[in-house]
Amino acid sequence: APSGRPKYHQAMATKPAPPAEPPAAAATPPALGDIRAGRPQVFGSPVKTLLRRSGSILSLIVLDLCGLILGIYSALVLRALTYGEDVLWGAIWRAETSWIPFLGLVMVLVFWRAGLYAERERRGGGGRVVASLILVGIVGLAFGIATNREFGTYGLAPTAIVLTIVFVGLLRASYDVITADLLSFAGVRRHAILVGDRDRIE
């Protein structure tokens, strides 16, 4: 007897359903390589890095000694011209060579202590060079007084310090410019890691 409820019929498939098609493969982007990989470096290995650092330190020491020699020699020539004396180039050089070994050693040690032979990122600038050379001049003057060296005038020391600062500064500036271009050409790249929150990093 009809109950007033709708009748539902369930249909069953008699044929197997076709296999589901696999999802379309995502388009593969072109191979870009590891984005973390830097450019090929010529001086990338530890041995070559050590050799590069040793060459940098040796070059800076040679340039600093050349600046010291030029500064003292120029000061002695300027002193002779100021007092109207004949400029005896050989005698001036012999007088300078008696000071160069001591002052050169003191300068290299002071520069090393001041970080002037460190990596480019940590190497001191012109202010540290000036302070270090003033200290070298004070030590050299104190050594001369303690060993009873005769000074015709005490104005020689400040003049030598100023001229040495000029020569060393020019030589180091030239070195920085030339080596920066060479390292860039060789593919050497430096990176910095900034650690901290956004405000500190900015």
> What integer pLDDT is reported at residue 49 of this predicted model?
78
CA neighbor of 107 nearest in space, from 142, 128, 127, 137: 137
pTM, 2 dp: 0.67
Q: Over the stretch 90-116, which tens digit does the pLDDT of each residue have? A: 777 887 788 889 999 999 999 999 999
Task: Please determine, for residue 19, whether its predicted confidence score (pLDDT) is greater than 70.
Answer: no
E strand residue ranges, 12-131: none
Q: Over the stretch 61-79, which tens digit does the pLDDT of each residue have? A: 999 999 999 999 898 888 8
Q: Over the stretch 157-167, which tens digit does the pLDDT of each residue have? A: 888 999 999 99
E strand residue ranges, the chain: none
131-138 CB contacts, 8 Å cutoff, 24+ apart = 132/107, 133/107, 133/161, 133/164, 133/165, 133/168, 134/161, 135/110, 136/103, 136/106, 136/107, 136/110, 136/161, 137/161, 137/164
Whole-angstrom distance, CA of residue 12 vs CA of residue 81 = 119
Whole-angstrom distance, CA of residue 139 vs CA of residue 201 = 42
Task: Please determine, for residue 21, whether its predicted confidence score (pLDDT) is greater than 80.
Answer: no
Q: What is the DSSP string of 15-29?
A: SPPPPPPPPPPPPPP
The larger pLDDT score, comparing residue 190 to residue 178, is at 178
User: What is the band of 4 on the pLDDT scale with cuts at 50, 70, 90?
Assistant: low
179: left (phi over 0), alpha (psi -120 to 50) or beta: alpha
Q: Over the stretch 30-58, which tens digit does the pLDDT of each residue have? A: 555 554 555 555 555 678 778 888 999 99
> What integer pLDDT is reported at residue 59 of this predicted model?
94
Under 8 Å between Cβ of 100 and 196:
no
